[in-house]
Structure 1
Amino acid sequence: MTGPNDYMEVSEICELFGVARNTVYRWRRLGKLKQVSKVGRKTYYRREDVYALIDPEAAEKDKADNA
């Protein structure tokens, strides 16, 4: 089951990586991040997808371990 802490807003991603909002939108356009939901003006991304940008190999290993 997922909870509210499983998702991140664009502003949180910007703060984590030290990038501008346009960079996050570009990552989405390039397929590096997948938008999960949009509520009003807020766009949400899965936390695990965001952290996979930091270490893609660890993310793939984690997915394999949980399968």
Structure 2
Amino acid sequence: METPILFPISSDEYWQKLSEVMDRLLTEKLNHGSYPTTPPGMTARPLLTIKEVCDLFQITKPTVYEWTRHGKLKPYKVRARVYFLMSDIESLLKGSISQSEKSER
């Protein structure tokens, strides 16, 4: 059963518009190179905190929790802290961009 959305557009239109906005934001982020900085001596930053993921995607923590619940991101716990692999973030970005290219065709 589909959850009703209280908007003046259909759920398909809503998700399409949301996808377009996310794709535009992610493309802008990739083009402007606004990834978090890497620590000195490292060639790539392997782990990101929830806050860094939120800053990167310009989303809130509850959105990150939703993404983990739906399997878009896999959390890794190190002691009492939760991190996300940069490779997972990059694959999410690439998947979102390739999805937008498919929808434009």
Q: How far off is 1:57 after superposition? A: 8.1
Tell me which residue corresponds to 2:68: 28
Larger radius of gyration: 2
Which of 47, 51, 54 lines up with 2:90 in the alignment? Answer: 51
> Structure 1: 5+ residue runs without aligned partners?
59-67
Q: Which structure dedicates a bigger proportion of its chain to strand?
A: 1
TM-score relative to the length of structure 2: 0.46
Query: What whole-Å deviation, never above 9, does each CA across 1:1-45 have from its counterpart, x for those lacking one?
Result: xx78201100000000000000001000000001122432x2101
Higher relative CO (CA 8 A, sep ≥ 6), structure 1 or 2?
A: 1
Task: For 2:64 and 2:96, locate their aligned partners in 1 and report how far apart those are by CA, in whole Å.
Answer: 21
TM-score relative to the length of structure 1: 0.70
> Structure 2: 5+ residue runs without aligned partners?
1-41, 98-105
Q: Which structure dedicates a bigger proportion of its chain to helix?
A: 1
The aligned length equals 55
Percent of paired sites with the same residue:
29
Runs of 4+ in 1 over 2 A off after TM superposition: none
Task: For 1:38 and 1:32, locate their aligned partners in 2 and report how far apart those are by CA, in whole Å.
Answer: 20
